[in-house]
Amino acid sequence: MFDAVINMITLFLRGRLFKDPKKVAIRASIGIGTGLVLLVVLVKLNTALLAAIAVSALVSGTLQPFLFRDLKYR
């Protein structure tokens, strides 16, 4: 199991895990950006920092499966 994780990490870092690494980077940045924007908006609305972090993490974490649902592996 540990060898499989190490193999996946090395393939990912070499850019050989996904068919289209640009698509992965774009979709990951969309999810990260959405969480970051939501966090900043909630903090500017004077929401408690812990609550803002929890809500933005929940939203961006919920968004990730929808963003990555049609990615192809090599």
Q: How far is CA 73 from the centre of its chain?
A: 17
pLDDT band at 74, cuts 50/70/90?
A: confident
What is the domain partition of the chain in residue ranges?
Answer: 18-74
- Phi then psi for residue 48, to 5 deg, are -60, 140
Tell me the mean pLDDT in the region 56-71.
92
Predicted local distance difference test score (pLDDT) of residue 40 = 97
Q: Is the pLDDT of residue 13 over 90?
A: no
For residue 45, the SS3 value is coil
Report which residue type is found at 21.
P
Predicted local distance difference test score (pLDDT) of residue 73 = 81
Tell me the mean pLDDT in the region 4-33.
89
The strand pairing partners of 73, in sequence order, are 18
Predicted local distance difference test score (pLDDT) of residue 17 = 86
pLDDT by residue (tens digit) across 24-62? 889 999 999 999 999 999 999 999 999 999 999 999 999
The region that residue 52 occupies, defined by phi over 0 for left and psi between -120 and 50 for alpha, beta otherwise, is: alpha
The strand pairing partners of 18, in sequence order, are 73
